[in-house]
Structure 1
Amino acid sequence: MTGAGSRALLLDPPPVEPSPATRLPLAWHQARAGELRAAAAERGARAVLLTDPWNIVHFTGLWAATTERPLYALIEPDGAPFWFYPRLDRDLVQSWWYGDGAEYFDYPHVDGQHPNEGTAARGPAVDLWEWALRLCAARGHGAGDLLIDRPRETPFGSIGDVCLRSRMLKTPEELALARRAYAYFDDVHVFCRDTLLDGFHDGMTDFELRSAMIDMATRRIVPDLELDGGPHRGVGVSIDLGWVRAGRVTGYPHPNQFRYAEITRGGTLQASGVIRVGGYGGECYRPFMIAPRTAHMERLWTVARDSCLLQQDELRAGVSCGEVAEKIHRFQIDAGVRDFVYHRPAHGQGPEGHQPPWLALGDDTVLEPGMCLSVEPGLYDPRAGFSVNFSDMFVVQDSGPALQLSRVPWTTEWCWLTL
């Protein structure tokens, strides 16, 4: 459905070329591991034990669905990682960047019991954390020589700050992959708006629209993934449009009910979701105000939109997150909408979703080029049964205001619809 001509309203493309690939190459992750080794050496250590799933993805490139089963990667002075892994991850681990490893059967694990090798006796569960540390020590990495990526009650030092900083400051390759995801998202938002204007019918539900958007996005993205059934292709892909919702439920920031409501004239539709490819991308929301609108709807929409544009202008290198949050909240208060403010203006975005820094009054993190943040100075009126919440990805630049990664407009022409 293209009669509405939404594509012609898209903003000019940002100066970030979409990645030709759908995941980062192994060499990129190996370079990050090299940086981690150098940081560990500066702290007098020779090895790093990665235990956080997102650090494992970042520094090794291995995507694995972690559960209660521990999966660790030991980064030593050179060579491929030494892995600690459950048997069900064996084929993924050993077919990626693998030097050597230690396998346990499952969680909880009993020492020496591997049903796949013909042993299956009950017994006391092994402490897999202590097991991993003993094996690290056997490889010459004890206290004073080994750093761990997240705080634990151990004699080992932490290098979690270095890991998090590396994940927060996006490289050009990461931004290119994020832009690829947002190019898909541009198409999804065009489809959404055109469907509303060309295909709306009485009784149409947010579920119907959401399902059509998911189908369109899947058909658009999946052919590019070159899926062959094997591992390590199509990783980090998320097509999460479950937040597309209409009517009263939009009045709640995080509604806890199933989204199924009619899209009505005089109502609202929140076109919200997350698209990631290779782990990169993020949120892109636009709130539709459907005629006949009330003055209250138009007022909240305008203040929320102007808050987003203020955020883009204020997100500058060298300024603290708290300073930007204060200016936005002061803008909201001065505009007379304080009763409808429910949360901070934004959060950092990465492969895990929310990540630091937090655009909040209590975060003094100084903004640096490459940091990527959401755009959510939303306003909510559950009594009136609607909200206005935009989002996108703003990237802090070397100088000047932040860069928007999507091409979706912020205008009344885009969002104020007559069906």
Structure 2
Amino acid sequence: MTASRRDFVRQIGLGLAASATATEALGALSLTSGREGSERLLVENPRHPTPAPVGTDRLPLAWYQGQSRRLREQARARGVDVILLQSDVNLVYFTGCFRGSGERTTWAMMPTREADTVYWFSPAIDRDLITSWWCTENEYYFCYPHAEGGFPNRGQLAKGGRVDLWAWVLGQLAAKGLGDATIGLDRELTPSAQRTFDRILPNAKVADVSDLCLRMQVIKTPEEIALTQRAYRYFDLVHCFARDFILEHGTRATDYQVGQALSQYGINLMMRDVRRDGRPHSAVGMEVTGHYVRTGVATAYPHPNQFFHAPLQKGQPVYVNCDILLGGYGGEGYRNYILRPSNSAHDRMWQVVADTVQMIVEETKPGAVCADIAYKVHAYQIKQGMQEFIYHRPGHGQGQNFVGHQPPFLALGDESVVEEGMTFSVEPGLYDEKNGIGINPSDRLVVLKDRSVLMSRIPFTKEWSFLDV
């Protein structure tokens, strides 16, 4: 590293409150300077999709409207008159309005014979968020639980008389003349919900369109892939920063400090480019997580439940586990480090994992069967004597908008056929509690016409992974 970059990493130091200025300055340096430090080890891949340009911080409204039109067309072919979306995942994907419902259920209705309309039924808390985005009309209840006639925001007070919100929204559909319509839902109704439906809309029919919603999300569009690739360009720099931080601070740092510093650095890095004015609908779907970074024996558990706050030590593994999202797109990016001296258990496990990462990349291509890929990975792990360290499948589909896991799965029980546009995690992880080590790198693998490519430029090499501190 040059003195300037090293100085910034050193200034970030071990006191998080004092590091804000340094991480912001380093974020600017990463965008304007040549490659320094760990950035010199990044590997360019000419097969990478072209990243979305700076200024494209989220997908445009036109993209969401286009996806909703595709859904309407497919649903109409099944005889559906209107689609009523309830899942937050689907609400964001098909409208572009980033929000979450919690217990305050929200619905969006899309008539299949109308191209660009969306009728919302929401809690009052989100009324401004919804009407300032794509909204033909919004009928709202006050809050959950909603009391009949209770709208304090209108000066109307009432208590008691709790409203069944499912009956309420069905009543809204009836009032719109949909009493004999075929209504496409993105969920299977429970028996009680079906009884309510039959009572409020006795002449209407239910059609399940959840498979259409999921299918569209599984096959990523070029615009989604481009925005994801841009997020991974930031991810590359975040991991370079984390590696440089470990090299600079070594055993003076804790895993917690590494995670907090990389998260702060990553957000500052992205926000240098993200256009926003403080109002809704800009700088949406963003995160750089660092709370899962861990060291030592904590790496030996695939789903640990303890808080991570342990010092880095020589001879121990460090797991830089984080996620990044920009406009709802990005995903997983994990890398494992061994702080020398290593031992034979470390070396052997690291090599088997590195081999199976490459195997997944080579085997995952259009026409391949997910179960076959998983079988080959597990067969190799077993052949190398690693069977007792296997805890999970070697990969899963990656979603969008805070959906980490999505079908299909690189798993023995999933016989789905790989298609162009799918994306997967790459996690042939192994975990050895006795020796206090787990290795589970991840990336995002995008399936192209005849192959797949990892979306990061971070190498799987010993030069990158084995560190002297």
TM-score normalised per structure 2: 0.86
Q: SS of the counterpart of 1:310? A: helix
Whether 1:319 aligns to 2:352 is no
Partner residue of 1:150 out of 155, 172, 187: 187
2:345–2:435 CA contact under 8 A, matched in 1: no
| 1:6 aligned residue | 38
Task: Tell me, in whole angstroms, the C-alpha distance in 1 between the residues paired with 2:441 and 2:455.
Answer: 14
| 2:99 alignment partner AA | A
| 1:396 aligned residue | 447
Whether 1:17 aligns to 2:50 is yes
2:267–2:287 CA contact under 8 A, matched in 1: no
1:81–1:98 CA contact under 8 A, matched in 2: yes
Gaps of 5+ in 2: 7-35, 195-204
| 1:195 alignment partner AA | F
Deviations 1:184-217 (A, max 9, x none): 11001111112222x1244321122222212211
Task: Tell me, in whole angstroms, the C-alpha distance in 2 between the residues paired with 1:108 and 1:320.
Answer: 47
1:9–1:409 CA contact under 8 A, matched in 2: yes
Partner residue of 2:173 out of 93, 113, 136: 136
* Offset, 1:160: 0.4
Whether 1:380 aligns to 2:412 is no
| 1:52 aligned residue | 87
2:82–2:181 CA contact under 8 A, matched in 1: no
Aligned residues: 417
| 1:205 aligned residue | 254
| 1:10 alignment partner AA | L
Partner residue of 2:104 out of 49, 69, 72: 69
Say if 1:205 and 1:74 are closer, same or farther in 2 by CA, change over 3 A: same
Whether 1:348 aligns to 2:383 is no
Task: Tell me, in whole angstroms, the C-alpha distance in 2 between the residues paired with 1:309 and 1:16.
Answer: 19
Larger mean Cα displacement after TM superposition, 212-221 or 296-305: 212-221
Whether 1:168 aligns to 2:218 is yes
| 1:119 aligned residue | 156
Task: Tell me, in whole angstroms, the C-alpha distance in 2 between the residues paired with 1:205 and 1:74.
Answer: 49
Task: Tell me, in whole angstroms, the C-alpha distance in 2 between the residues paired with 1:142 and 1:60.
Answer: 25
Task: Tell me, in whole angstroms, the C-alpha distance in 1 between the residues paired with 2:270 and 2:227.
Answer: 13
Runs of 4+ in 1 over 6 A off after TM superposition: none
Matches within 5 A, 1:18-417: 18-20=51-53, 21-76=56-111, 77-78=113-114, 79-142=116-179, 144-153=181-190, 154=194, 155-197=205-247, 199-351=248-400, 352-400=403-451, 402-417=452-467
Task: Tell me, in whole angstroms, the C-alpha distance in 2 between the residues paired with 1:360 and 1:221.
Answer: 34
Task: Tell me, in whole angstroms, the C-alpha distance in 1 between the residues paired with 2:251 and 2:68.
Answer: 56
Deviations 1:42-86 (A, max 9, x none): 001121001111111111111112211011100112142000000
Task: Tell me, in whole angstroms, the C-alpha distance in 2 between the residues paired with 1:143 and 1:187.
Answer: 56
Task: Tell me, in whole angstroms, the C-alpha distance in 1 between the residues paired with 2:251 and 2:154.
Answer: 62
2:148–2:159 CA contact under 8 A, matched in 1: no
Say if 1:143 and 1:158 are closer, same or farther in 2 by CA, change over 3 A: farther
Q: SS of the counterpart of 2:405? A: strand
Task: Tell me, in whole angstroms, the C-alpha distance in 1 between the residues paired with 2:315 and 2:180.
Answer: 65
* Offset, 1:34: 0.5
Q: SS of the counterpart of 1:272? A: strand
* Offset, 1:117: 1.4
Q: SS of the counterpart of 1:83? A: strand
Task: Tell me, in whole angstroms, the C-alpha distance in 1 between the residues paired with 2:356 and 2:407.
Answer: 21
Larger mean Cα displacement after TM superposition, 12-21 or 33-42: 12-21
Q: SS of the counterpart of 1:101? A: strand
Gaps of 5+ in 1: none
Task: Tell me, in whole angstroms, the C-alpha distance in 2 between the residues paired with 1:103 and 1:5.
Answer: 54
Q: SS of the counterpart of 1:350? A: coil
Q: SS of the counterpart of 1:123? A: coil
Task: Tell me, in whole angstroms, the C-alpha distance in 2 between the residues paired with 1:48 and 1:230.
Answer: 29
| 2:163 alignment partner AA | V
Task: Tell me, in whole angstroms, the C-alpha distance in 1 between the residues paired with 2:445 and 2:296.
Answer: 28
2:57–2:275 CA contact under 8 A, matched in 1: no
Q: SS of the counterpart of 1:182? A: helix
* Offset, 1:142: 4.2
Larger mean Cα displacement after TM superposition, 121-130 or 256-265: 121-130
Deviations 1:309-364 (A, max 9, x none): 10111111112211111111111111110000011111111121111111111111
1:29–1:59 CA contact under 8 A, matched in 2: yes
